[in-house]
Structure 1
Amino acid sequence: MAFATSSATLQLASSLHGEALSSSSKSNIFMGPPVTFSVSTLSGKQLHSRKQLVVFSKKLSGLAEAMRIKRERELKSTTKGIRRPPLRRGKVSPRLPVPDHIPKPPYVGSNLLPEIASEYQTHDSEGIACMRAACELAARVLDNAGKLIRPSVTTNEIDKAVHQMIIDAGAYPSPLGYGGFPKSVCTSVNECMCHGIPDSRQLQDGDIINIDVTVYLNGYHGDTSKTFLCGDVSDAMKRLVKVTEECLERGIAVCKDGTSFKKIGKRISEHAEKYGYGVVERFVGHGVGTVFHSEPFIYHHRNDQPGHMVEGQTFTIEPILTLGSTECITWPDNWTAVAADGSAAAQFEHTILITRTGAEILTTY
């Protein structure tokens, strides 16, 4: 799940797989003092370099403008001929029961949001085996949930199926009761960036939906999500989904023991910008293991945050990309986060294990 960036101190707001973070994380790499030159002191070679710099700057400016226009066209193409109304809350049914014999996370029974653990989730061989089992189950449940997607199916039906699959495996659905979250899975449709609460709304032909599954098995959480297509989806939205998954893959590709966390955001931003997509800064990845959410916070945009990966560590990477604005509005339910301009958003997530030479994706099936 994703964490939310606030302009003040670190706090957990509207997050299942996402916590609130300080906006001081925002990168300032494009800002700095102005550079001035005195023509009388510049040599011919320096003048030539300056001209090259000006030309390069113009090229960058032109590229940014071209990508802005492209994004506007993409956004228009998603609604052309569809006139889909904005997402509205349907009826939310009561939470589903979990058998008493299934072990539950310590936060169950409290409606308060748990504090984010400061300890990194680093494991010995036994812990890694437990993480693999939990993550494999989460991936299998997500895969089966995706097979349910078709027009007229409600997100509440998806929640029921996910809930049953998890408890049948002897595990607990981690979102259920986390900070008062009323369901066993997050279902985020179209402009919903994350933390959508399953309800009575039927999926429509042309929708996209992110299903976010986390399971608690033998004391360990496995966390994963994927954006699925429902029926005949527009080319623009298909491309957004494809590029978002590619961003996740590129973020994982840089991971290994000793690598700085900030390289993840750099790689994701570079790829998203090629297509003119916005990377949502408010929600980030997190450590995951014996606790649902812990440090480090994994930023998906360019940033200067400190810290390096350590062998044996597990955390999530879960970028959210949009066709339009990256700003979001949280519904009165205190969970559902939707794009401020109503544009489509897509998200993909894996839990990974840091190794000496790379990263192992634990949430594969």
Structure 2
Amino acid sequence: MGKIIYKTAQDLEKMRASADLLGRTHAEVAKRVMPGITTLELDKIAFEFIKDNGAVPSFLGLYGCPSSLLTSVNDQVVHGLPNNRPLKSGDIVSIDCGVLLNGFHSDSAYTYEIGEVSPEIKNLLKATKEALYLGIEQLVFGNRIGDISHAIQKHTEAKGYSVVRELVGHGVGRSLHEAPEVPNFGKPKKGDKIRNGLVIAIEPMINLGAKAVVQASDGWTIMTRDGKPSAHFEHTVALVDGKPEILTTFKYIEQAIKIFHS
């Protein structure tokens, strides 16, 4: 991945704009996340909204990716490709999206409940989202990447869940994937030092069952080996004045859920 590229104040201003547009893109999708919709339809909504706002979908064409969203349903962990299968009540779907605006990427993901999901799955989503914010709390000057990783692992494993090992968070900037890697497991006080201007995507991928994953025949979709559900939440976060600033936001998503699905 190369060396870490620390961001200037001017870079961060551009990244805030990119991240805000990404949050609003997620909200446009969130309005329509309900039983009967297909992930291909959601992908079209995201593509058109990003384009209409003068930006470019980060994922489309990257490594040959055919879509603006990656949509991972139930036992799909990440990198699921949008398709024509309607979502149904009881499903969960992780929607991962990136936006390129003003030369800078932003990246975030949110796992949605479709209709009525089981309490067991609700608890998995809650713990994964909590782990994301506990990881973010460790993004402070003087800490190391391992402090973030350890906080995520400790919280989720204490609740009986398992942490995917093969996939990690990452630096974000003029490239969608930059140094450093940000695992969701590890030891405190290990890894790269956290310094002002660091921008990373923190993204817990947490399984209800065992940690083992497999890749589907499409060459993209990562699934749990045991077929049990997996949850995924992600924010792009910067270290500013020694403290974490969450650049992306779930605020617009959660407003949309409240207005359109309550």
Please give the secondary structure, in 2, of the residue aligned with 1:213.
strand
CA distance in 2, matches of 1:215, 1:269: 28
Q: Which residue of the partner structure matches residue 245 of structure 1?
A: 129
How much has 1:209 moved relative to structure 2? 0.5
2:196 equivalent to 1:318: no
Please give the secondary structure, in 1, of the residue aligned with 2:100.
strand
Q: Which residue of the partner structure matches residue 162 of structure 1?
A: 46
Residue number among 196, 199, 202 corresponding to 2:80 in the alignment: 196
Q: Which residue of the partner structure matches residue 213 of structure 1?
A: 97
2:228 equivalent to 1:361: no
Supply the RMSD in Å over aligned alpha carbons.
1.1
Identity of aligned residues (%): 37
Where is the strand percentage greater, Structure 1 or Structure 2?
2
How much has 1:356 moved relative to structure 2? 2.9
Q: Which residue of the partner structure matches residue 333 of structure 1?
A: 218
CA distance in 1, matches of 2:46, 2:246: 22
CA distance in 1, matches of 2:85, 2:227: 17
How much has 1:145 moved relative to structure 2? 1.1
CA distance in 2, matches of 1:194, 1:253: 24
2:10 equivalent to 1:126: yes
Q: Is the 8 A contact 1:280 1:320 kept in 2?
A: yes
Q: Is the 8 A contact 2:111 2:232 kept in 1?
A: yes
CA distance in 1, matches of 2:56, 2:179: 22
Q: Is the 8 A contact 2:96 2:109 kept in 1?
A: yes
2:172 equivalent to 1:274: no
Give the greater-gyration-radius structure (CA). Answer: 1
CA distance in 2, matches of 1:180, 1:303: 34
- State the one-letter code of the partner of 1:313: L
How much has 1:307 moved relative to structure 2? 1.2
Q: Which residue of the partner structure matches residue 171 of structure 2?
A: 287
Per-residue Cα deviation, 1:254-296 (whole angstroms, up to 9, x for no partner): 1112211100111111111221000111110000011110110
TM-score (norm 2): 0.92
Q: Which residue of the partner structure matches residue 226 of structure 1?
A: 110
Long gaps (5+) in structure 2: 252-262
Please give the secondary structure, in 1, of the residue aligned with 2:154.
helix
Per-residue Cα deviation, 1:113-164 (whole angstroms, up to 9, x for no partner): xxx4x13231111111001011111111112212211111000000000001
Q: Is the 8 A contact 1:257 1:355 kept in 2?
A: no
TM-score (norm 1): 0.67
